Every structure is written in C-alpha cells, then in structure tokens.
Amino acid sequence: MGKVPPPPLPLRMNSSIEQSPLQRIALVTLHAGYHHSSLALRSIAAFCRDEPYFDGLSIHEGLVKSSNEALFAELVEAQPRLVGFSTYLWNIQPVLRLARNLKQLVPDVQIVLGGPEAGPRGEELLANEASIDFVIDGEGEPGFRDLARWCLYGDGARERVSGLVWRDDCAGIHRNALQMLDPSQWVSPYSCGLGALDKHLVYWETSRGCPYRCTFCTSSTDRLRTASLAQVDADLAVFARLENKTIKLLDRSFHLGAEHTLQLLERFLATPDTLRFHLELNPDRVSDQALALFAQAPSGKFQFEIGLQTLSGPVLERIERVMDVPRGLARIRQLVALHKHPVHLDLIVGLPDEDAESCRQSLDAVFLLCADHLQLGILKLLPGTPLRAQAERFGYRWDAEPPYEILCHAHLSHAELMRFKHYAELLERLWNSGLARNTLAWMVGRHFDEQVSKLFDHLLTGAAQPLATDRVQPDHAFGLLAAALADLLAADPVAAQLLLWDYAHHSLVTGRTPDWIAQRLRAAEQLFRTFGNRRMPVLELGPEAVQVINRRRQQPLAAGRYAVWAQRDRKGRPAEVLAVDAA
C-alpha cells in the first residue's frame, strides 16, 4: 500500500462546493511514487486561469500502488461535469479502472484522457473503452481549454479542438490536427502560484520537443521549442525561496544552443546552494565552457542523466541517433572525475538488429566509466514512435500491454534478453545500490578482463544466482557474493580488503553477517568511539585498494588503517571513516 494521497489542490480560495455542478472540472493522475507531482495538470490549470470555469477546477493526485478509494470518493462527491486524466505507461490500467467506475456513479460526466500514453492510442481507446469520451493528443493546454468551453457552454467547435480524438453520433472516430503552442503562449504554474512545491522533487521545463530524432522516443517528431529567459527568471525567483529541493528538468535534452545553455547554467549556479538541478545531457554536446561551470559549482549542485543507449555506430545510425561516441565517453570520464555531481547512465538492450555480443560490448565499456548509476533497460516499443511502426521490419515480438517491452527480435533471442535482465538486476543490487561497488570495480578490472558481463556470468552460473532472481537482503547478498568469489578472495588480499570495506560501510557485525566477513571483522582491531558507544572495526587498506576507493571520493584516502562507523548504524546517514594511521 502506498501512502495516503494528499487532498485535492484547491486552485482558488472559494470552495468548489459553491460552484454550479455544470462548472466542476477535475484534473486527475496517479503517480508511481509519493514524491512525484504533476507538472502537466498544473500547466493546464495555469493555462485556463482566465476561463469562467476556473473557480470550479481542482487537481487530484493518487498512487498507482494504492486502492485510491479516497480519491474515487472525492470525485464521486464532487459530481464533476468534466474529468481529465493524465496517462503514462505506469498508470493507464488503473486510470481506466477509475474512469469505468466513475462513469457508473456519475453517468453524465465527460471523461477525457491525455498524456503520452493516451494520445497516440486515441482511436483504440475510444473504440474499446465506452467510459472514455475524448482523448487529447499532444500538448494538453489548448486542447483541454477549448474542449471544456465546448462541453460546458457549447462554445467553439469540437472539430477545431487541437489534437482531439472524438466519436460522432454514428460512432465514427475522428482525429483533429495538432496546433503547437508558441513558447510565448506557455504559462508556467510556478510564476502564477499554482506549482507543486511541497515534494522533494520539483518538476520543471525550459523547453519542449527535442533536437534529436531517435526513433524509439515519443519526442522524435516534436520540434524543439525553448522558453524565454524572462519566463525562466520568473520561475527561478520562485525556486530561490525553496530549500533542499531537486529541480528536475523534463527537457528531453539539455542542449538548447551553446549560448542559451550557458545562460541557463549560469542562472542555475546563482541559486541557493541547497537547490539541485537534474539535467538530461547528451555528453558529446557538453562544451568546454559548460564543463568549467560544472567544475566550479558546489558539490551536488547538478545531477546528470545521460542516455547513451548503445555504443554501436551502425545501431545508432539505424535509430537515427546522432552521437560522437569517443567524444561522449571522454566527456563522461571528465564529469565522473569531478567527484562532485552524480552521473546516471542509460543503456538499452534490444535496439534494432543489435545482437547480444554488441550489447555486451556496450555494457562492458560503459561500466568502466565508473558512473554512480548504470541502468540497463529493455527496449519498449512505445505507441506513436517511428520504431513501433517499423517493428515488423526488424522482426520484433513484444508485449501488447504497457510497458510494451520487447520479447525478442531477429538478432536477439528471448533467452539472451533474459540474460540481460539478470545483468540489470545485478547492477541494481550490487553497483547502483552502492552495496559492493569497490569489490565489483576491482574484480572486473583484475580478474574478469575488464568485462563486467564476464563477472555477472560467473555469478549467474553458481550459487550466487539468487542475487539476480530472488529478493535477497543485503547481508545475504554479501554472503552469496563472498561464496561465489571465495577462491579469488583467498588468493587476492586486495579483493578481500575491498569486500570487508564495502561491508563495513553497510553494517556492523550482527547475527546476520556472513561467516567469512564476520570472522575477519571480529578479528580486526576495534576502535571504541565514545560518542554513540560503538566499537568500530579497523581495516587495513593497501595502495591498490585505496586507488579503487578514491575513484568515488572527493577527499582521497592514503594507504593505511581506517575505522568505519557503518551507514546502517547511523540511521541512513553516510558511513563515517576515521583514520587510525595513514601514510
């Protein structure tokens, strides 16, 4: 069960109960997690702020993994005339269930779906879902505004509502042309007081569309448009009053022209240090000037998400993705070497005509970049994308239900795809979690020919397979890892040092600690720390072990002895390291 969703957002002080039932409008979505909020719904509300129905408009947000009974009861009690649902891969099924049930209890309500999941599927949804009256494709602001005018007051013409998919009286289904908004028409919910600022993540956009044409992406046909610097400044003035927030830009690519990009970065740097900015970068497009700004920024000011997808030149050409691979990899190494801002890298398995060996080569090369997070995802054939239309040409078989993951293609079998799914689980549990990063980095470089896929194959063919297939607790994960690497640990003192170091950061010795680790930590010298009354194990680190550890440390260690106060014992705060004696 998820947390109870917050109450609907009243967009004006006067209560919707006082409104005429014909003027009540609800905007609704379901999130994957409690820390999310909907920029899309608030942008629609801001765009409609001067409409006569605005006072009757409310926003309702729930969770996908919740029953949402309270949210449903709110909608039924309000008896809205029009309800708009924002839909995505992760929420379309529960949204359809809500819509069906709402139509039973409020039969006169008009229900419209929008968002990237509904728009391209408009005809299919209207043909198969009687509870859905309309679908809006593309930008929701003008389409929803004009549809509300037509539904509530008979104002305008249904045939001219931007992106509207609708049925006529003879059950024919029609799709209206899209009318793209000029950036001068965008209305930011933040600068007009309607933005969601109560969550850790604050979603924001400085552009729409994308300069690239990657065939697997829903933005491949959406031309790039950028907000004015005046609008950016107005929003940043609101954000400057916040503390300890991450501003997550929804821009598909944070490359809006060299001069404009630098102007934005300089503005971000001028905000309070406790504000962080999450950016999606194309690494080969990061200029020397931008890199210099990242270097001068306070630690953690930026978070970088970089979608490499593949390193294969022919595959990149096939998906119409433009990237200078050598330059991109060099830039990532520089970003990681700053030791200041988290770097998240993405790879996709299952791109057209890419076989298992090519996917392994990309994974092995990208792992050596030592980024903070490496996500290995399976290709999804999203509705409305060019690649979905080309699926038969490349021999794709895929799940017809969201999230539309592929099952195989002409050059990649289902068994090979499952092997990469297991790789992805091992990455999540051992690397991305931080659980055994130093151990993995050393093992891959020293014992597995700099190929993380070889290490993973070793784990998957032995008793450690549950690491990729079962739900295992961290202590059990360390035990499986120690058992699978027992021969190497016995012969390699550096590997042993690093595995003990990784575990000591996770936990003090308890009854759940694996025997191999517990014996060595109990035998180590103990440093008593008066504050907290803890005995901390003292670990020996040689020069080679320190070299591995320092790849991820802002303040490098020297070879020597260190006591570690574990993260688990510090209630989630980072582990503390105390030098006992160091060279």
Q: What is the pLDDT of residues 51-74, one digit of tens each?
A: 999 999 999 999 999 899 999 999
- What whole-number percentage of the chain has pLDDT above 90? 83
Residue 349's pLDDT band (cuts 50, 70, 90)? very high
Q: Residue 326: pLDDT above 90?
A: yes
Compute the average pLDDT of residues 251-257.
86
Q: What is the largest CA-CA distance in the chain?
A: 84
pLDDT for the residue 583: 56
Residue whose C-alpha is closest to residue 212's, from 220, 202, 200, 204:
220
Q: Residue 561: pLDDT above 60?
A: yes
pLDDT in tens, 407-452: 999 999 999 999 999 999 999 999 999 999 999 999 999 999 999 9
Alpha carbon distance 60, 91 (integer Å):
14
Compute the average pLDDT of residues 530-549.
85
DSSP per residue over 313-362, as a string? HHHHHHTT----HHHHHHHHHHHHHT-SS-EEEEEEE--TT--HHHHHHH
Residue whose C-alpha is closest to residue 411's, from 326, 307, 318, 345:
318
DSSP per residue over 394-451, as a string? GT-EE-SSTT-BEEEBTTB-HHHHHHHHHHHHHIIIIIITSSSHHHHHHHHHHHSTT-
Residue 18's pLDDT band (cuts 50, 70, 90)? very low
Compute the average pLDDT of residues 88-107.
96
Residue 256's pLDDT band (cuts 50, 70, 90)? confident
In the numeric block, the tokens 């799709």 are attached to 175
In the numeric block, the tokens 């890419």 are attached to 354
pLDDT for the residue 190: 97
Q: Residue 531: pLDDT above 70?
A: no
Compute the average pLDDT of residues 179-200.
94
Q: Residue 16: pLDDT above 70?
A: no
pLDDT for the residue 129: 96
Alpha carbon distance 176, 174 (integer Å):
7
In the numeric block, the tokens 């979690």 are attached to 433
* Long-range interactions of 515-518: CB distance < 8 A, separation 24+: 515/479, 516/479, 516/482, 516/483, 516/486, 516/489, 517/478, 517/479, 517/482
More confidently predicted of 413 and 219: 413
Q: Which residues contact 156 (CB under 8 A, 6 or more apart)?
A: 146, 149, 150
Residue whose C-alpha is closest to residue 538's, from 551, 550, 522:
522
Helix or strand holding residue 62 (H, E): strand 57-63
Q: Which amino acid is at 52?
A: P
Compute the average pLDDT of residues 488-504.
96
pLDDT for the residue 311: 98
Helix or strand holding residue 463 (H, E): none
pLDDT for the residue 19: 44
Mean pLDDT of the chain: 92
Q: Residue 5: pLDDT above 50?
A: no
Q: Residue 569: pLDDT above 60?
A: yes
Residue whose C-alpha is closest to residue 433's, from 363, 495, 481, 361:
481
pLDDT for the residue 131: 97
Helix or strand holding residue 293 (H, E): helix 288-296
pLDDT for the residue 295: 97
What is the side-by-side strand order in the sheet with 275-281? 201-204, 245-249, 275-281, 302-309, 343-349, 373-378
Alpha carbon distance 489, 443 (integer Å):
10
Q: Which amino acid is at 505?
A: H
Q: Is 28 helix (H, G, I), strand (E, B) or coil?
A: strand
Residue whose C-alpha is closest to residue 443's, from 387, 486, 388, 397:
486
Residue whose C-alpha is closest to residue 75's, from 30, 14, 126, 130:
30
Alpha carbon distance 53, 149 (integer Å):
8
Alpha carbon distance 134, 249 (integer Å):
29
pTM (2 d.p.): 0.91
More confidently predicted of 489 and 220: 489
**Pairing, β 225-226 against β 207-208:** antiparallel
Structure letter (DSSP) for residue 380: B
Lowest mean pLDDT among 39-48, 208-217, 530-539: 530-539
In the numeric block, the tokens 């609800």 are attached to 26
Q: Which amino acid is at 113?
A: L
pLDDT for the residue 219: 86
pLDDT for the residue 565: 84
State how far the alpha carbon of 190 is from the alpha carbons of 69, 180, 197, 231, 477, in Å: 30, 21, 9, 10, 44
Q: Which residues contact 138 (CB under 8 A, 6 or more apart)?
A: 119, 162, 163, 178, 180
